Amino acid sequence: MTSFRKSTLEIALGIRALAVSIVAALAGAWAVPALAQQQVPVFSWDPTVGWIGMGEFRPVPGKVPPVTNDPKHPYVPNGRGGQPTYRIADLSNPNLKPWVKERMKKDNDEVLAGKIAFTPSQSCVPSGVPGFLALGGNNNPTWFLQTPKEVRIMRDADAQVRRVSLNVPHSASPKPSWYGESVGHYEGDTLVIDTIGLNSKTFVDAYRTPHTEKLHVVERFKLSADGKMLEALVRIEDPDTFNEPLNMRRRWNKVPNPLLEMVCAENNGDHFGKNLFPVPQADRPDF
């Protein structure tokens, strides 16, 4: 039994090392030289280094602030030595349309009554834009694979991938989808991503703020001077959801962590018989 476990561990470590070496070879031989010729910022030149999120969406000075936690129900994350709680949105934010507050109040009330406040990672569904940026940090970094024609933003925790076409216009009328249609370009040291065509099945943030298919998101990614921090300034327009365009920012720290694949929905059992975590099933289409 001991030798079997040892062999299994050696095989797993070998597969992990092979995956890292393959991605490293692709990144080193494909993306970096081409990007260097264009003189654009390189966010993930090394596939063994990723970006861990720092906190939540933060306000941009002088701009309408994002939704935050209700001070009457403090949010306690995991690993803080106390009983973890779910986020409860502060509905006093004046930028929310009445129907948004009504829906979020119903959700808040259900969570306070004992409902599980699902996140995209928990239920293995796409997080959308800008929900992808709101995904928790923990040990699940984000990577950028940059080529002259496309940028892919990847997260190994639940195999979510965003695809951004560079230097092309939007389609005339893109069909709404989970990640919409993202087109991008570089403005000096900044990657600018413009996304439309998003369906209404996702949330804007970690507070489960809904939106309509009119959602339009512009993200501006930029490295810090020392290259150890990444920041995205995000502008959100949805006239049916917000009274004014919403502006917020998100930051990540660079960390050593290899890019590995993780299957989100594999072998998740419903041990309580209450469908607590409704993950996708292979016997029917979910998306």
pLDDT in tens, 181-231: 999 999 999 999 999 999 999 999 999 999 999 999 999 999 999 999 999
pLDDT band per the 50, 70, 90 thresholds, residue 141:
confident
Looking at per-residue pLDDT, the higher value among 17 and 115 belongs to 115
95-109, 146-160, 182-196, 225-239: the lowest-pLDDT one: 146-160
pLDDT band per the 50, 70, 90 thresholds, residue 67:
very high
Tokens of 53: 């999120």
Q: How far apart are CA 33 and CA 134, in angstroms?
A: 31
pLDDT value, residue 15 = 43
* pTM to 2 decimal places: 0.80
Tokens of 87: 């986020």
65-74, 136-145, 148-157, 190-199: the lowest-pLDDT one: 136-145
pLDDT for residue 72 is more than 80? yes
Mean pLDDT of 254-267: 68
pLDDT for residue 57 is more than 80? yes
pLDDT band per the 50, 70, 90 thresholds, residue 80:
confident
Beta bridge partners of residue 230, listed in sequence order: 223, 252
The CA-atom distances, in angstroms, between 224 and each of 125, 156, 180 are 31, 24, 28
CA 215 to chain centre: 16
Beta bridge partners of residue 143, listed in sequence order: 154
pLDDT for residue 255 is more than 80? yes
